Amino acid sequence: MDTPEATRGGEPVIELRQVSAELGARPVLRGIDLRVGRREVVALLGANGSGKSTAIRTIVGQVPVTGGEIRLFGTPRRRFRQWSRVGYVPQRTTASSGVPATVTEVVSAGRLARTRFGPLRRADREAVHHALEQVGMAQHAGDPVEALSGGQHQRVLIARALAAEPELLIMDEPMAGVDLASQEVLARTLRAQVGAGSSVLLVLHELGPLEPLIDRAVVLRDGCVLHDGPPPEAVGQHALPGHDHVHPHDPAPRPLRSGLLS
């Protein structure tokens, strides 16, 4: 009989087995396997449209699966309810979703999974403040989010995910369209989270400043897993032909040479 993963100390925090998903009747994920172990940092890479965001969104329940199975902390996702254990940073869209709110209000929303939608107590307010400090935004606590730069807004979204003190962070392109200073802050924040024992799954276009943190890379192409193993640099970019990659979130899209990532 197989030894259960949990008793080997390797219970995955995320496990996708042969997961398929469709968007608008179009197959976008075509049977992907993806595993994130406890304390592991996994980068999900691939060209535009390869299915990275869709994979992430199936995990957090925003896109239904048409086949296969997803487990979170060993529980089938359909039955998973412990969302305070998961911090999710969606792909950044507009600065404020049109709703007037302060930085503190947005970050406090991330705490609701812990308060079960009750009022924030002192420990909750402290957690919100700590999350803002981690991303270097405490001095902007009372600012309207509409007034923030793209990088500052991204830091706020990350603070919102951290406010629940999650064990698992799922981030969709946290570095996209973010200025260098904010990238450094995000890298530092992630380092601290990983040091404290968090597990991380993040969509990236380039490993960039996060490279030293990445344990493993899963590369998607056309909704299938093309590579699962060491990050691309380690397997040799030249071994796999690249092509120009245009980032959709860049204000002025420019081609990047990204080898295996394209």
Residues that bind ligand ATP in the complex, under the rule CB under 6 A:
23-24, 26, 28, 46, 48-54, 248
- Considering beta carbons, is residue 115 or 183 the nearer one to ligand ATP? 183
What are the phi and psi torsion angles at 248 (to 5°)?
Answer: -70, -20
Separation between Cα atoms, residue 208 and residue 179, nearest integer Å = 13
- Considering beta carbons, is residue 31 or 144 the nearer one to ligand ATP? 31
Smallest distance from the beta carbon of 63 to ligand ATP, in angstroms? 9
Token pair of 74 as six digits: 């060993």
CA angle 136, 83, 72 (to 5 degrees): 110
Smallest distance from the beta carbon of 53 to ligand ATP, in angstroms? 3
- Considering beta carbons, is residue 52 or 114 the nearer one to ligand ATP? 52
- Considering beta carbons, is residue 46 or 231 the nearer one to ligand ATP? 46
Separation between Cα atoms, residue 201 and residue 188, nearest integer Å = 16
Locate all alpha helices (DSSP H) within the chain, ordered by sequence. 52-59, 103-109, 112-115, 122-134, 150-162, 180-195, 232-235
Separation between Cα atoms, residue 129 and residue 215, nearest integer Å = 30
Separation between Cα atoms, residue 184 and residue 202, nearest integer Å = 16
- Considering beta carbons, is residue 53 or 199 the nearer one to ligand ATP? 53
Smallest distance from the beta carbon of 70 to ligand ATP, in angstroms? 15
Smallest distance from the beta carbon of 219 to ligand ATP, in angstroms? 11
Smallest distance from the beta carbon of 51 to ligand ATP, in angstroms? 4
Q: What does each C-alpha distance from 73 to 11, 34, 137 come to in angstroms?
A: 7, 14, 31
- Considering beta carbons, is residue 47 or 148 the nearer one to ligand ATP? 47
Smallest distance from the beta carbon of 6 to ligand ATP, in angstroms? 31
Separation between Cα atoms, residue 59 and residue 78, nearest integer Å = 10
- Considering beta carbons, is residue 27 or 209 the nearer one to ligand ATP? 27
Torsion of CA 154, 155, 156, 157, to 10 degrees: 50
Smallest distance from the beta carbon of 253 to ligand ATP, in angstroms? 11
| Kind and range of the H or E run holding 38 | none
